[in-house]
Chains A and B, each alone.
Chain A
Amino acid sequence: MQAVHGRALLVDLGTGEARTVPIPQEVFRSVLGGTGLATWLLFRFAPPQVDPWAPENPFVIATGPFIGTGLTTSSKLAIATTSPQTGFIGDSLTSSYLALVLRRTGFDALVVVGQAPDWSVLFVEDDRVYLRPAHDLLGLDPEETAAALRAELGRDVRVAAIGRAGERLVRFAAVVNDGRLAGRTGPGTVLGAKRLKAIAVRGTGRFPPVADPAAVAAAARRLAQRSLGPETAKYRELGTVANLAFFSRLGILPTRNFAAGTFPAAEALSGERLVTVHRADRQACAACTVGCEHHFRTTDDGPPATVRLEYETLFALGSLCGIDDPNVVLRAAALCDRYGMDAISAGGTIAWAMECVERGVTLPGDPAEWPRFGDGASLLRTLEAIGERRGPLGDLLAEGSRRAAELIGQGSDAWAMHVKGLELPGYHPKKLRAMALGFAVTPRGACHNRTSAYEIDFSEQAGDHHERIALATAHSEDRSAVLDALPLCKFLRHRFDDFLAEAAELVRLVTGIACDADELRRVGERIVTLKKLFNLRQGWTRSDDSLPVRLLGPDGIEPAELDALVAAYYRVRGWTPEGLVPPARLRELGLDSLVAHAATGC
């Protein structure tokens, strides 16, 4: 198979040793790269039931076959590790120049195990590895860290770094590179546990050759042209912040910790108003022609902030916390970036605390410092306390909503809005059946990106038939896995007339392997199943595929209906009624030998 190096770089921070690990061709054929490769490497190098904090927990960065080919939006890194939030697979995707330079080191992936004796920077320069002491970088935010390292090591070096939240082991700390965050599931926390402040990479080699260079170049030109069409104008002109007012109108905008689906002040926070009043500029990720990254600036007399804003950040730090002032939300988003924290989990955890205060549940620390719905100053103060793990309140909330509720009790788990420990993104499932199912079953916890199941609810295919919803959700999850394995941006998915068939043709041109739509769908299913196998090894049980208590009933979905949807999902996946993957299904997907490869370490 072309377009891969066929090897990963394994670094043990504890011993300082690095070695090359061959990756069997069968692995690439089965899961391609990106999230698929990262998942397989995690499965292979993680001991069973690994503790997320343990040195043995691998931290994996993987590239994909499309990176460096000129195919637009393909410059993405996949990260996989065991999540400190969920204890299950934690995977995140981030767009960056780091993907390009890592690919030029001659490796398809980087696997980091062990714990450094002291705070360090891992510097990978082609096939050489150095550990640089990092004490001078502690306390710097991720951008400052990257700037310092690039000034020292050279402008051709690209950096992924953690902020203070990662240093202080906030459970939802992000890995930040080129201003983009791999935030969900806490990968930055794992780097912090390994005492790794940053990973710096210089790659000077060539990209691995593609199978048909002329055809790939022509396909890249066509895809770039298609990416500029009217169907992506919504991303270029407005971005995902456009969701907020529409979602509120539909009654699916999570408001005040999911107590409501409509935010009375939605117009004040609307994307339409933000682009009119607050827009600063627009940028694009590395090797992207869509350019959806919108930056917004504050306009009041307070401390100025200019920050990238997406819908998820806007809802989590806005309506979810009852905040109606866009200037506060922008400052809050800037704080999350500076500390290196996932905004969804940060907002979700603070909204839980706000509801505790509203219900008279005692939190630790000075009551004057407690966060309150609609109080912008308290939101900003609490974000800083979490990022620093300052005081008993900051320390509690840095654990995330699930553990915070377990620690203070008083029935507060009833309004801890998470699945598997991961706080819910900005879709109130009350009217979204496919999304409710997706939240419940997706391996990494409550996630909108791994299923994109909202598309089923937002379409004419939505209906009440459980089997149809389950099948559509599984297919959507498989398609998302394929996009993350190639990789290509999800914002391109509607630019294809027949995504699987056309993407399969691109795979054939890039890698030279025979591939069609059916095989590509199986690739997606293999990846989803591999994630499930990892979770099973971590101790997953049927009760983990559920929703928060608040959403089980008239304010969400009746428990019997969710059970029926989950059961239907297991059926269409070919799993047992208990959600286990039978050996026959593994064989059908060709995963038996892949898992054997991982077990035998070849």
Chain B
Amino acid sequence: MVREAMTLRVELYGLPAVLTGQRRVEVTAATLQELVHVLAAQFPSLCGTVIDLDRGWLNRGYIFVVDGRFTREPATPLRPGAEVLLVAAQAGG
């Protein structure tokens, strides 16, 4: 089944926000895997630190929150109006 890509509002927190200078970005993607590709193309500053270009996926330590659920599953489908956050999974302090 081919999923139709849709425009999403993605919120960035922590280092992804600092590297892009953006809190919110609008991108078109049907899955998290697609979203990572789009982010890498649109924001090269994320590559290396947040996104591993060779693997085409997030580096360890970064995670998505999709509709309140933490996930690093690339095949996660993105529904219209989904709340998507990209965060550094750090804590402590």
In the bound complex, what is the Cα–Cα distance between A250 and B65 (angstroms)?
Answer: 9
Q: Mark A505-548, 1 if CB is under 8 A from B, else 0.
A: 00000000000000000000000000000000000000000000
**Per-residue A-contact encoding for B54-93, CB less than 8 Å = 1, 0 else:** 0000011101010010111100000000000101111111
Q: Are B15 and A237 in contact (CB under 8 A)?
A: yes
With A238-B18, A246-B14 already in contact, the answer to whether A455 and B91 are too (CB < 8 A) is yes
Stretch of A83-91, A322-330, A457-465, A569-577 at the chain-chain interface:
A457-465
Q: Report whether B92 and A240 are in contact in the complex, using a CB–CB cutoff of 8 Å.
A: yes
A231 within 8 A of B: yes
User: CA separation between A297 and B60, bound complex, in Å?
Assistant: 31
Query: Among B11, B48, B71, B90, which residue has its beta carbon within 8 angstroms of that of A234?
Result: B90
CA distance A513 to B87 in the complex (A): 40
Q: Are A233 and B18 in contact (CB under 8 A)?
A: no
A228-260 vs B, CB cutoff 8 Å, 1 = contact: the mask equals: 001111110111111101100110000000000
**Distance to closest chain A CB from B85 (angstroms):** 7
Which residues of A in the span 478-507 have a Cβ within 8 Å of any Cβ on B? 490-491, 494
Q: Are A312 and B93 in contact (CB under 8 A)?
A: yes
Is B17 part of the contact surface with A, judged by Cβ < 8 Å?
Answer: yes
Q: Are B15 and A243 in contact (CB under 8 A)?
A: no
B50 within 8 A of A: yes
Secondary structure at the A interface, as helix, strand, loop or mixed, is helix
B49 within 8 A of A: yes
Asked whether A271 lies within 8 Å of B14 as measured between CB atoms, the reply is: yes
Is the beta-carbon distance between A460 and B73 smaller than 8 angstroms? yes
With most chain B CB atoms within 10 A of its CB, the pick from A230, A232, A249, A458 is A230
Contact A234 B88 (CB under 8 A): yes
Given A231-B60, A458-B70: A240 in contact with B85 (beta carbons within 8 A)? no
Number of interface residues of A (CB under 8 A): 42
Alpha-carbon separation in the docked complex, A241 to B72 (Å): 23
Q: Are B88 and A458 in contact (CB under 8 A)?
A: no
What is the interface of chain B mostly: helix, strand, loop, or mixed?
A: loop
Contact: B90 with A242, CB < 8 Å?
A: yes
Find the A residue at minimum CB distance from B88. A234
- Complex Cα distance, B90 from A302, in Å, reads 33
Contact A494 B61 (CB under 8 A): yes
Chain A residues contacting B87 (CB-CB under 8 Å) are 246
The complex places the Cα of A495 from the Cα of B68 at a distance, in Å, of: 26
Q: Mark A1-37, 1 if CB is under 8 A from B, else 0.
A: 0000000000000000000000000000000000000
- Give the residues in chain B near A249, CB-CB below 8 Å: 11, 13, 85
Cβ of A449 under 8 Å from chain B: yes
- With contacts A311-B92, A454-B91 known, what are 18 further pairs, Cβ within 8 A? A230-B48, A230-B49, A230-B59, A231-B59, A235-B90, A238-B14, A238-B15, A242-B90, A243-B93, A272-B14, A312-B93, A452-B92, A457-B70, A458-B89, A458-B91, A460-B72, A494-B60, A494-B61
16 A-B residue pairs with Cβ-Cβ distance under 8 Å, sorted by A, are A230-B49, A233-B15, A235-B90, A237-B49, A238-B88, A242-B15, A242-B90, A243-B14, A243-B91, A272-B17, A272-B18, A454-B91, A455-B89, A455-B91, A458-B70, A459-B63
Which residues of B are at the interface with A, using a C-beta cutoff of 8 A? Answer: 11, 13-15, 17-18, 23, 48-50, 52, 59-61, 63, 65, 68, 70-73, 85, 87-93
